[in-house]
């Protein structure tokens, strides 16, 4: 008999290459790292057959755990903790550094620029209603408007990129029993 457990994960943004991201998650068999972890009790490590990350959608996936015997919720807790650690550091750190994890957020770029332009224009309108003494204190219309609106937003290629990291706000990695499988 084999026992199958699953948990899910969410990414903070969509990957830009599903196939490369999927391959990255499956190319290194994480089972050996789980079995070698001394924070997992020896009897639980002995029951582990395999663990695998599967990307299901551009920002969502499942982690499948296969064991030789049925594990209790208490026995699954250190495995959930280990997965959380891997997703935030080990596996996750490498994942978010890959080209497929660089997500350009076009919406953020445009909304940032629109917001800045509105503030700049409002400041220009305010400047035109100032008396000459106030205008002299501030200098030119551009100086006043830039002061009020703040520095211009970054150029498109300079920022607005998000790493597709594992979302620590929504992931809890609680494994649930799925089914018993005949060998």
Largest pairwise CA distance in the chain? 88
Does residue 23 sit in the same domain as residue 49? Answer: yes
Does residue 85 sit in the same domain as residue 137? Answer: no
Does residue 133 sit in the same domain as residue 80? Answer: no
pLDDT tens digits, one per residue of 108-130? 556 666 777 888 888 889 889 88
Does residue 34 sit in the same domain as residue 80? Answer: yes
Is pLDDT of 30 > 70?
A: yes
Sequence-distant (6+) residues with CB within 8 A of 16 are: 99, 100, 101, 102, 103, 104, 164
Does residue 151 sit in the same domain as residue 90? Answer: no
The CA-atom distances, in angstroms, between 147 and each of 120, 133, 141, 144, 154 are 9, 18, 10, 5, 16
Does residue 140 sit in the same domain as residue 91? Answer: no
Does residue 82 sit in the same domain as residue 172? Answer: yes
Query: What's the number of domains the chain is made of?
Result: 2
Residue 108 structure tokens: 């953020």
Which range marks the domain in which residue 152 is found? 106-159
Does residue 89 sit in the same domain as residue 177? Answer: yes
Q: In terms of residues, how long is the chain?
A: 183
Mean pLDDT, the chain, as a whole number? Answer: 87
Does residue 11 sit in the same domain as residue 91? Answer: yes
pLDDT tens digits, one per residue of 65-96? 999 999 999 999 999 999 999 998 878 888 88
Does residue 68 sit in the same domain as residue 89? Answer: yes
pLDDT of res. 81: 95
């Amino acid at each position: 008999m084999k026992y199958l457990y699953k948990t899910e994960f969410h990414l903070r943004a969509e990957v830009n290459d599903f196939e490369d991201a999927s391959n990255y998650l499956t190319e290194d068999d994480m089972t050996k790292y789980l079995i070698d972890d001394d924070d997992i009790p020896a009897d639980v490590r002995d029951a582990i057959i395999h663990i695998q990350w599967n990307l299901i959608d551009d920002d969502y996936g499942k982690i499948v755990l296969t064991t030789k015997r049925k594990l209790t919720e208490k026995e699954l807790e250190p495995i959930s903790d280990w997965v959380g650690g891997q997703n935030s550091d080990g596996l996750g750190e490498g994942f978010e550094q890959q080209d497929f994890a660089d997500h350009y957020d076009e919406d953020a770029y445009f909304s940032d620029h629109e917001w800045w332009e509105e503030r700049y224009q409002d400041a220009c309108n305010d400047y035109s209603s100032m008396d000459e003494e106030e205008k002299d204190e501030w200098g030119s219309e551009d100086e006043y408007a830039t002061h009020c609106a703040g520095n211009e937003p970054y150029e498109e290629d300079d920022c607005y990129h998000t790493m597709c990291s594992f979302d620590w706000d929504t992931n809890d990695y609680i494994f649930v029993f799925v089914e018993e499988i005949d060998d």
